[in-house]
Structure 1
Amino acid sequence: MLTDTDFADEVADRHLRFDAAQYDDIYVVGDVHGCIDELRTLWDRVDPSGDDVVLFVGDLIRKGPDSEAVVEFVQSRPNALSVRGNNEAKVINDRIDTGPFAAFEDGLEELPVVISWDDAMIVHGGVHPEWALADHDIVDFQEMRGVPVGNSYDGPYWFDSYQGPPRVFFGHTVLEDPVVREWAIGLDTGCVYGGDLTAYDYRSDEFVSVPAEETYRDRSDDKILDV
């Protein structure tokens, strides 16, 4: 069982742990990137009850058509919560023009970096397979992709050699299909790039996906992994 002491202090302050037994089902949703129509369709398809919880891997915002509507959708539902992705971090840290996000920037700052339950956790990017959790800082959890460390699509990828526990649910790395490893589940199936928006049903070990209504942003094929 993960506790705050498993993480560096800066991460522990942004770690949210919950008791999975209080929910009938747990769903984890991949990167939305402002794709509000697809999110609404996926939500209706999943049809969570008030006794379920829906968790997001971050990057609710940017690139797609309506970031504000996505944030409002998630924040208005008491059984929905997201971790902070690297795109939320860009707004929080003023690395981009924050004007379009001013209406909900404060809410982004409140997002946890890690959500955990049982022997599972959600981070946006990933974890280094050779590091203790306490050796990761916030940026590591938000941007991990390649090993050796690098925000790169050259590989190899952290999830191919990670041995757990905990089991890690992640986004950030754009995938043709969900990544399924014993200790890692990847959920960014590139909705904003014309792929799918994907949710994982934790109790039934099944995926639910809806296709993008259009391609909102172009992306080269070598940056969409088929693994």
Structure 2
Amino acid sequence: MARYAVGDLQGCHREFVALLERLAFDPHRDQLWLAGDLVNRGPGSLDCLREVRALGDAARVILGNHDLHLLAVARGGATLKRSDTLDAILAAADRDSLLDWLMQQPLAVAEGEQLMVHAGILPQWSLPLGLGLADEVRQRLGSEHGGAFLEQMYGNQPACWRDDLDGIERLRVIVNAFTRMRFIDADGCLDFAAKEGLDSAPRGFAPWFSYPRADDPQIIFGHWAALEGHTPGARVRAEALDTGCVWGGSLTALDLDSGERISVPSQQR
């Protein structure tokens, strides 16, 4: 059995199919980890959702910020942005079954010492704590209160984690850390303004992976295309997999056992 982790699809369906062919991926034998942001910005978001869902148990999927945005638009009253490419999903005959499936996906998955998240994990969170916090969000999304949560999910405050947070503030920090994080300060407070490369860090902030942890999982993440798959200065074992397919870069898979990277070029213009 081969195990691969793949960075952000963001609607790059043709590249996804080409990558699966390049890997000779067999869903009856192999396993695929998908690091979130299956949809948006690219032209094939609906096809990506359908393709991944059809993989069944061969795919382990986590939610990224664009996946949550889709859910918020469809079921939380949020509005589409000009750059969104979600109309085909929202108009699809199988829309509800796809959205139901997406709402069941977690914010993190782990196996042994390997952890996959979309944006990152706060250094203050141990692996067991982080997985427990991710499960709090999964349970809320899957409950009768899922729609109400999606209505209140957006926001930059609070920007810092505290153990005594509760309610929507607690869930919002968890979501933001797992799906939006790039730069943090030494106390684990998030900056939401800087979205480019490492030289865009605000004063007093640094990439989340530049802070040491008490444990040492291999952290597989996407989200940050400006890194181009690299994590210079990392003080944790971090594997960046968003190589900017939707922006004309490539779509990248990581062999979770050998560490080999396999990429196919973007077909986006």
TM-score tier after normalising by the smaller chain length: 0.7 to 0.9
Within a 5 Å distance, the mapping from 1:75-114 to structure 2 comes to 75-78=53-56, 79-94=58-73, 95-97=78-80, 100-102=88-90, 103=95, 104-114=98-108
Q: Is residue 150 of structure 1 aligned with residue 128 of structure 2?
A: no
Amino acid at match of 1:209: S
Distance 1:196 1:43 in 2: 14
Q: Which moved more, 1:38-47 or 1:137-146?
A: 137-146
2:227/2:240 contact within 8 Å kept = no
Q: Which moved more, 1:38-47 or 1:145-154?
A: 145-154
Q: Which has the higher helix share?
A: 2
Distance 2:119 2:259 in 1: 21
2:117/2:219 contact within 8 Å kept = yes
Distance 1:129 1:195 in 2: 29
Matching residue of 1:129: 123
Amino acid at match of 1:57: A
Q: Output one character per residue of 1:7-26: Cα deviation in whole Å (capped at 9) or x when no partner.
A: xxxxxxxxxxxxxxxxx221
* Cα deviation, residue 107, structure 1: 2.1
Q: Which moved more, 1:186-195 or 1:159-168?
A: 159-168
Distance 1:65 1:139 in 2: 26
TM-score normalized by structure 2? 0.66
2:5/2:253 contact within 8 Å kept = yes
Identity %: 29
Matching residue of 1:159: 209
2:181/2:191 contact within 8 Å kept = yes
Distance 1:166 1:60 in 2: 24
Residue 43 of structure 1, aligned match among 20, 33, 39: 20
* Cα deviation, residue 157, structure 1: 0.9
TM-score normalized by structure 1? 0.77
Residue 72 of structure 1, aligned match among 33, 36, 50: 50
Matched position secondary structure for 1:62: coil
Between the two proteins, the alignment pairs up a number of residues equal to 192
Amino acid at match of 2:68: A
User: Considering only aligned residues, what root-mean-square deviation do their CA atoms show, in Å?
Assistant: 1.9
Distance 1:195 1:189 in 2: 6
1:75/1:81 contact within 8 Å kept = no
Change (3 A) 1:128 1:110: same
Matching residue of 1:19: none
Q: Which moved more, 1:200-209 or 1:180-189?
A: 180-189
5+ residue gaps, structure 2, are: 81-85, 134-162, 164-172
Distance 1:72 1:169 in 2: 24
Distance 1:162 1:197 in 2: 29
Matching residue of 1:210: 264
1:83/1:115 contact within 8 Å kept = yes
* Cα deviation, residue 168, structure 1: 1.1
Matching residue of 2:2: 25
Q: Output one character per residue of 1:61-86: Cα deviation in whole Å (capped at 9) or x when no partner.
A: 00001100001111111312310000
Question: Which has the greater radius of gyration?
Answer: 2
5+ residue gaps, structure 1, are: 1-23, 216-227
